[in-house]
Structure 1
Amino acid sequence: MGLPVADTLRAAGLSPKLFDELPVMLDAENYFRFWDAMEAYSGNKDVPLALANALDVEVFSPPLYAAVCSHNLRQATHRVAKFKALTGPITIDVDDGASRLKLTWNWPPHLQPPYPLLMSEVLFWVFLARKCTRMAINPLEISTPVLPQSTPAYLDYIGAPIRRDEAVSITFANRDAEHPFISGNDAIWSAFEPALKDQLSELQNSASVSERVRVALHRAIPADQASAEHVASALSMTARTLQRRLQQEGTSFKALVNSTRSELAKTYLRNTELPLSEISFLLGYADPSSFNRAFREWTRTTPERYRRTNEP
């Protein structure tokens, strides 16, 4: 992208020789700070657009090859969503409808990925659809919480409207999701899929059951699916096994639900202007008074007072 490598790394508090030995592993905080530094040193360049124009399918990375070896965009989205955890704390939900294919990005509430990273994630799929089909495919629309400053340049690249929304998403028409990839290759995919599965299994097994339940609850609670049966199914175990494993780790499913609700509530109150009635609904409470009582038990204060004292 033509950015000064050493200066960008120093600005992120990282070693200017970070890339001397690959692969590079960073925790989320340092990784996000690196993206902030790229934006700071980009001058008049727009990092997501610069990155989209610099992408190359010849550069090997597991998620890129998982996509490139697919037979179409629909298959690519499901493959990448499955192995996305290998690249960091951002996940992709795939809504595979009859007339459209929609991808929505999610991350733990206590993390806030930089905007350039999120927009780069979205633009990757525009690049991929065009590169692998050799067709001028445009998405139906893109949504982001913040509209880019150079909106005309993005509209020119994307060829579709950008809608302001809390969700980060991209939507393709069904016909475009079905266009065959000229790069589809089952032989190459079958050669390295087992290694990806092993890495994913190792990653999942390295986390405690409690940690995995917390991650699942961050998505299950707003969807009103925070039952032990649903979460256990998402973690490929029975509800009885889940309860036993949590007991061995000194906690319970109910305790994790309460602590996750508390964490989500604080995040909504600090970072959004949602009314208390909507927050209580997102947390699975039948009415705001039930949420109010629970919040007082967690924090010894009211949601209104917490919001006032934690305003940005």
Structure 2
Amino acid sequence: MNAPSADRIKIASGFWTSLRGIGVEPLDVARQARLPLTVINEPFVTTAQYYSIWQAFSEQVGDTATGIVKLATAYKTAQYPPAALATFHARDYRDALNRMARYKQMCPPENLQIREEGEQCSIELECQHSEKPGPPVLIGITLAYLLELGRRGTGRHLTARSVEFIHPMGDVQALEGYFGCRVRTRADRNRLTLNRDDLDRPFVSYNEELLEILTPALERTLDERQSQLTMSDKVKWILSRCLTRGRIDIQTVASELGMSDRTLQRRLTDEGASFKQLLTQTRHEQALAYLADPSLEIKEVAFLVGYEDQNSFYRAFRSWEGETPANWRVAQENWRSSLVTE
């Protein structure tokens, strides 16, 4: 079993079936995404294509929140991919979430960070690839799925304590009705907070024999994927998570990697890279991806890629692309409009 590459994402077999189940035609989604219609029969797509599909789905539904709620409740358990199936048949909700966080590492493009503290458990969603942040509907469906997993596994209508999203999500009341709690948008992170006591609830779907079959294969796939990552890949991933959290330096990244800053610099030098170079590259790639989202103001993009003031961002962007962020955005939109869908 080979792990997919960083830019090769597997589409779950039940995805297109689930779209039909809620009245969304897959061919219409492909057309809206400006992708070849054959994409609905392809097992793998690139990250850019994957995001385009999700954005097109949101546009077809007409409201981000509505699309999230409809799809989260429509997906059939039998259509889960192996990694997700292993979570559904876990011992309890905590075991399921920990498995999800672990195996999500080999299923780009998101990463999960779980923290238990006091009476609550927070699950933060982060992008694995800084240059391609996901569309709001994908962020929302991922957090909704985590709660849906607990509901289906325990057989109880669990509710969250709170939900936070970075971007606007459409009909917030629809989301609050689904999650059973307050939903805040334009927050500084994408985060689902659960009642910690719910994590101890056993899963009625627990299947020890099936887990004994699935777990070794999934662990091998995860090991293969992690062994393919270079130190530069790991540094860029950490940088993508930290850009909006204030000043970041090599000591901060080295600490997260469990090594000294001198060791990290030596490892990067061996790969022909430097920390400064990777920081600039991460900011550049992430800026292009954020600017492709017309809902984000340029001053917001500047903040998201780690610049305290807009002028510094403008100077940096000119050095990267030779034009202003606004002109680059217009040129990209004109290019997209010129594409002809087959």
Output the TM-score relative to the length of structure 1: 0.77
- Relative to structure 1, is the Cα distance of residues 198 and 225 closer, same or farther in structure 2, using a 3 angstrom cutoff? farther
Change in 2 beyond 3 A, CA 1:90/1:176: same
Alpha-carbon distance, 1:145 to partner: 3.0
Residue number among 65, 69, 74 corresponding to 2:89 in the alignment: 69
In 1: Cα distance, 2:29 partner to 2:312 partner: 48
- Aligned residue for 2:58? 39
- Aligned equivalent of 2:272: 250
Change (3 A) 1:170 1:178: same
Q: Name which of structure 1's ranges 158-167 and 140-149 shifts more when overlaid on structure 2.
A: 140-149
Letter in 2 for 1:256: L
| Alpha-carbon spacing, 1:41–1:236, altered in 2? closer, same or farther (3 Å) | same
Secondary structure of 1:140's partner?
strand
Shift of 1:233: 6.2
Within 5 Å, which residues of 2 pair with 1:8-47? Answer: 8-20=29-41, 24-42=43-61, 46-47=66-67
Cα deviations across residues 144-200 of structure 1 (Å, max 9, x unaligned)? Answer: 234543333332222211112332211111111221111233432232222222222
Match of 2:154 among 133, 141, 159: 133
SS in 2 for 1:196: helix
Contact persistence 1:217–1:260 (CA under 8 A): yes
Give 5+ residue unaligned stretches, structure 2: 1-20, 331-342
**Which residue of 105, 114, 126 corresponds with 1:85?**
105
Partner residue of 1:182?
204
TM-score normalised by structure 2 residue count? 0.71
Percent identity over paired residues: 24
Q: Is the alpha carbon distance of 1:72 and 1:229 closer, same or farther for their aligned partners in structure 2, counting shifts above 3 Å? A: farther
**More off after superposition, 39-48 vs 219-228:** 219-228
CA distance in 2, matches of 1:26, 1:228: 34
User: Relative to structure 1, is the Cα distance of residues 42 and 204 closer, same or farther in structure 2, using a 3 angstrom cutoff?
Assistant: same
Q: 1:257, CA displacement in angstroms? A: 3.9
Instruction: Name the residue aligned to 1:117.
Output: 138
SS in 1 for 2:139: helix
Q: 1:155 aligns with which of 147, 151, 176?
A: 176
Shift of 1:90: 1.5
What are the ranges of 5 or more consecutive residues in structure 1 without an aligned counterpart?
none
Which structure ranks higher in relative contact order (CA pairs < 8 Å, sequence separation ≥ 6)? 2
The structural deviation recorded for 1:17 is 3.4
C-alpha separation in 2, matches of 1:50 and 1:241? 49
- Is the alpha carbon distance of 1:97 and 1:123 closer, same or farther for their aligned partners in structure 2, counting shifts above 3 Å? same
CA-to-partner distance for each residue in 1:68-127, whole Å, 9 max, x for gaps?
Answer: 122222222222112213222211121221210111111244323222111111111221
1:58 aligned residue (78, 100, 108)? 78
Match of 2:336 in 1: none
